[in-house]
Amino acid sequence: MKQHTIMSELVGFLFVLPFLMVTNAGAGELQHDIAHGGLLYDNWLKISQGTPPAKGTHPSYPKQAKKKGSATWRCKECHGWDYKGKDGAYRKGSHFTGIKGIREAVGKDVDVIVAVLKDDTHKLTDEMMSADDFNSLALFVSQGQVDMDKYINPETREVKGNLEKGAGYFNTICARCHGLDGRKIKDMKVTIGKVANANPWETLHKIRNGQPGEEMPALRALPVDIARDVLVYARTLPTSK
């Protein structure tokens, strides 16, 4: 009877396995698309296969704000690395625009978000982005954000996490390209330590989604706590070349 039960369970597992594989594959594809959306949010001009907008400042970029040219077309430039816009880290300083963030779009229908991206304010067109890019960017806005305030103190920039675990993750995942001290990539203008201290929100976003135009792996499929711990350790690295 026991052998019969084991065989029955095995047959049942083998029957379900293909469906589990499809489900896992689907989840993996979703994470890939969301991470791609995170790259587009960072700088879609670098990775989109479409035709970039004509040179110049975005028509909807506030005239009183301080940036010009292609930088004003980046989603992060108005909505921030913490996704809070005027209510977050960009509430003052050279990146201030007075534009709200995207936190209220969490969970919204992807098609609704795509329509917003194409509206008269955002002015993104089918010539600029492919349908897949629009879908990925909308997926990121809807499902890919994290509440940065849970990981980074918005006032002090302090990041609470496990330094020892972060060292292990950094030294095995990140150090091959960035070096054990975060100084290895020569074309980076600043060290990992400097950007992690100056802008922990940007660093956490890039740890999770990668760097546009670079072979940087996205850690999105891993728990956010792992990315947070990497950030904690990165902030201990040298801040000068």
Render pLDDT for 107-145 as a digit per residue (tens, 0 to 9): 999 999 999 999 999 999 999 999 999 999 999 999 999
Average pLDDT over every residue of 68-85: 98
| pLDDT band with cut points at 50, 70 and 90 for residue 14 | very low
Query: What confidence tens digit (pLDDT) does each residue in 32-70 have?
Result: 999 999 999 999 999 998 999 988 999 999 999 999 999
Contact 78, 59 (CB under 8 A): no
Mean pLDDT of 1-13: 45
CA distance 90 to 98: 8
CA gyration radius, the chain: 21
Greater confidence (187 vs 129) lies with: 129
Question: Do 82 and 168 fall into the same domain?
Answer: no
Closest C-alpha to 171, from 157, 187, 184: 184
pLDDT-derived band at 24, boundaries 50, 70, 90: low
Q: Do 95 and 129 have their domain in common?
A: yes
Say whether both 138 and 155 belong to one domain. no
CA–CA separation, 195 and 220 (whole Å): 20
Domain count, the chain: 2
CATH number, domain of 229, equals 1.10.760.10
Q: Same domain, yes or no, for 127 and 169? A: no
Amino acid at 205: H
- pLDDT over 70 percentage in the chain: 90
d(CA 127, CA 124): 8
* Tokens of residue 81, six digits: 């690395």
